[in-house]
Structure 1
């Protein structure tokens, strides 16, 4: 397995203001992983990073160069866009779900031409008694094309819906009951219909397992997470590296600026020493504004790491 898997790091150099929302994308050098074995104020600032998060869905167009990312459309000029989460439907079609400042509705927009034009805003779901501090959302497309939507409304549960017609209609599933504050959702699919949901909590990196394409979930463990994850570490991601699913890469971050990785060849029973991928040097702006990271895998099996922090420049 040596020197087979390489990780590409996509750094977002952020030069953003609340008015212009200009975002630049640059690519960092390749590293060979085999060489080393939340307050309301927080939410109102999230609109500054819309372009940053939207860049996740545009990565394949900027592998070799720096390009600006277009602003995501708003229903009205002052609309805030929060918890934006995208998914590719096809080569040209992208579906994006998001919320606004009230967090009581999940909206969607769709593009069929790589973001040049967008559909009108559509209401997907209304939410009873939302708590902005505990709000989070994540959209995932399974290997057989099902869309899974996870969202969080309180400190002890994760809601889940699925769509089998590319997000036209959604079916709500029973909430996943969690003991403590689930945040930072991510998904890995070791094989079709077998799905691992990851999230962090104040205690440790937690997972839930589905063997029926996301319709039911158990606490059974498929990948055993690194033990380091706790309140000081966030953004847990598993990335499958082998066809069998035994080899897996764990990526996570500190609360503030450092991104780490560890490698396992036995589904997490044993982990390599921690490797520090990079210091984002974004620093701590506000105690509620923790570093956020996402991973994207392209058709050439390159792994792209997208990171951002929200800024309030007071302009």
Structure 2
């Protein structure tokens, strides 16, 4: 058994705001396993906490509601095992794909069926019944649905549902840097389902909180686009159906609609908000079911230690 690094400043548990060599050891081990807590600097900040959430999800099989972001003695011992993370959908040599597990708020990028990035995510916000939450906001458009500039920006009172659909998709377009749309900024967005993208955000909480996109930590979004190409497959598990079982309607995102309680529609010439062309269709179809294995954290002896919820 390896020497336990915890103790000292962390006492028995390392968590948010702790610092020291024991935190460095945790960060390095997470890096070694394919997670990205950010710099190995001994500071237990948000990036480390998010990486621990993802570790708890995959190895301890904890849904996001039960993740603590703390490294106990027991969790540290789990980190010492020779863990490997297998895809649910094997694509074989020469392939890259992403798997997104909404009940766990975790995603993995696989290359040649080997995990090259494991990250915490935050997907579409849910209501008390676990359904996509309704939002209503003033939304400003500088372009039309085809991305052509408007003569004057238009602000509308609109509503929508924060739906992140399950299904099978492909990355099909991307933007470099900060893409400011009607609902806010997105860092290095890579789109896979109409206006739904994997993108960096400053706020990536433990729970689903977006309008429907897949938020990832900013330091990961800096290089995420280099890991995937347009045309790479994206599999999304919603915890209800397998991705291939989702219908075309299931896989559609929520499209904005006029707020029925709105009284006016206004225009503004001072807004700097831009938008992406919402009607661009991703080249996505549901493929035939492929051979698959359950994503699992395994030891060298082949013993399965966890199965992410689907």
TM-score strictly above 0.5: no
The structure number with the bigger radius of gyration is: 2
TM-score (norm 1): 0.25
Q: Which has the higher strand share?
A: 1
